[in-house]
Amino acid sequence: MGGRLILTARDIRALKGERRLAMLTAYDYPTALALDQVGLDVMLVGDSLGEVELGYDSTRAVSLDMMEHHVRAVANGATRTHITGDMPAGSYGDPRQAVASAMALVAAGAHSVKLEGALIPQVEAILDAGIPVMGHVGLLPQTAEGGYRKQGKTMQDADRLVAEAIALDRAGCFAIVIECVDADAARRITDAVDAPTIGIAAGIDCDGQVLVSTDLFGLLPDPPPFVEARANLRDLMQGAASEFAAEVRATAAPRLPRRTPAP
């Protein structure tokens, strides 16, 4: 299959108002290899891998070394799709650390990085280093306390989110993820910024949508309520494995020749 040019961060930002953006997560080589064929705009190597791939209770257990490992695996499989690497918790506490961490993800194969919150000094430092940045407002899993709750439900909270998104947009982010935000607040954010917004559990009025591929493919039980699984790979895997195990057990054990003692 012939390749196509990878969308650059500038290309993606220019798509605001032109068409919607499609982004899925990928964490490994075979998934990246498959998703690279379908025409996604962005493949996100998300720190959500901590929960859906590694079985941790939160994304906070994910280290920069882990992210480098998974970015490298995805980059080995995806040669046509823009790859964004999530900067994990604790990897961008100040601008200098943020630049070093972003450079590590780019060296592993990412074309851009994403960080949570309106940390403008860090964003500007990474951009000054020549690395494109995707912003992220709303629910911030790395720092969320007391569970994942919908954001922007009050006027005051919505105003705060709009102000954060505008600051990220003005700093130069090429796109902004809006996670778990009231639909009206997400619409306000989308209308207020020049960068395209990419929503997850934030209504239909964002400029694009992102989902965790593990949820989309039905690999785990009890997906989030806002996800409509488009496949049931978990059942397919279990069925194939059960058939294999049954066939192995139904086959008579081979009679092995006894060793003849050496003379």
Q: Which positions are catalytic?
A: 179
Cβ atoms of 191 and 164 closer than 8 Å: no
Q: What is the rounded CA–CA span in Å between residue 42 and residue 128?
A: 22
Neighbours of 262 (CB within 10 A): 4
Q: Give dist(CA 259, CA 100) in Å, integer.
A: 61
CB 19, CB 41: distance < 8 Å:
no
Using only C-alpha atoms, the chain has a radius of gyration, in whole angstroms, of: 22
Q: Please say whether the beta carbons of 188 and 197 come within 8 A.
A: no
